[in-house]
Amino acid sequence: MSTPLDELFVRVRSENRAALIGYLPAGFPTQEGCIAALTAMVEGGVDAVEIGYPYSDPVMDGPVIQAAADTSLRNGTGAQEVMATLAAISKVAPSVVMTYWNPIERYGVENFLKDLKANGGSGVITPDLTIEESELWIASSNSHDTNRIYVVAPSTSDDRLRKVTEATSGFVYAASLMGVTGTRTSVSSSAQSLVSKLRTVTNLPIAVGLGVSTPDQAREVAQYADGVIVGSAFIRLLQESSTLAEGVEKVRELAQDLSKGLSRA
């Protein structure tokens, strides 16, 4: 199996840099606005995109993403809108869907994976799906050649890191700290330690998320990780802008600034 996401990480490794991965929930600030903002991200230098499936009980998401998801849900965003966003953005960058398990189960695992591939998706990030409950997901995602991306945290034991990474493909999502997503003044020192532990159990690319929001933070993470994930910082720009056009342009500018510092020393 080789997806556009797999090919991206091969390319950025050959370029001796980390990949920049941007996140937005589908339907935020509107359906059309989300596609415009994601397109601007890619034009600004984002290498791959995470499209959030808005959910009413987002246990991993901080207040910025929760507010964006609430806006998206009020806009009527559901599976159809998520897939439409995926279809538009996968044409310009490797794209994955980040979703809690309940929407997949309601959609139907086979139907979800079939439609994901039909709309150009490379994989799925499932932050609340445990390895113990993954038998069906592993079998089905293998049959649909879909990257299966799990989230690990600094508290994850060495034995469990091995089990999780054995079931993962595409990249490992390393949460930089115990907590929820959001912009922070610094990236937790536990992020580098977690990546170091992961290197001992897997050769998969490792991308760090939760808390990366500034070019300096992205540059720091790029020295030890294969990918830098930014979400809340992009969302905040859209939330604080007086017009969609202004927000989209600020998103493009932030992507440009973040992408400049991802080369390895």
- Answer yes or no: pTM beyond 0.85: yes
Two tokens, residue 209: 């998320």
pLDDT for res 176? 75
pLDDT in tens, the chain (265 residues): 799 999 999 999 999 999 999 999 999 999 999 999 999 999 999 999 999 999 876 566 678 888 988 999 999 999 999 999 999 999 999 999 999 999 999 999 999 999 999 999 999 999 999 999 999 999 999 999 999 999 999 999 999 999 999 999 999 999 975 444 444 444 557 899 999 999 999 999 999 998 788 999 999 999 999 999 999 999 999 999 999 999 999 999 999 999 998 997 6
Verify whether residue 6 is a known catalytic residue.
no
Whether the Cβ atoms of residue 72 and residue 33 lie closer than 8 Å to each other: no
* The pLDDT value given to residue 160: 95
Domains within the chain, CATH numbers bracketed: 4-259 (3.20.20.70)
Task: Give the E-state strand segments of the chain in sequence order.
Answer: 19-25, 48-52, 95-98, 123-125, 147-149, 151-152, 172-175, 206-209, 227-230
Task: Answer yes or no: are the C-beta atoms of 97 and 53 closer than 8 Å.
Answer: yes
101's enclosing H/E stretch is helix 101-107
Pairing of strands 147-149, 123-125: parallel
Catalytic residue among 47, 61, 81, 226: 61
Q: How many CB atoms lie within 10 A of CB 108?
A: 11
Q: What is the DSSP letter of 232?
A: H
User: Angle at the Cα of 24 (from 107 to 2), degrees rounded to 5?
Assistant: 65
Angle between helices 79-89 and 109-118 (to 10 degrees): 30
Q: Which of 15, 43, 47, 50 is catalytic?
A: 50
pLDDT of residue 56: 75
pLDDT, residue 249, reads 98
- In the chain, DSSP finds a helix count (H) and a strand count (E) of 12, 9
Best CA proximity match to 131, nearest among 83, 168, 170: 168
9-43 as b/e: b if 16+ CB within 10 A: beebeeeebbbbbbbbbbbbbebebbbbbbbbbbe
- Catalytic annotation present for 50: yes
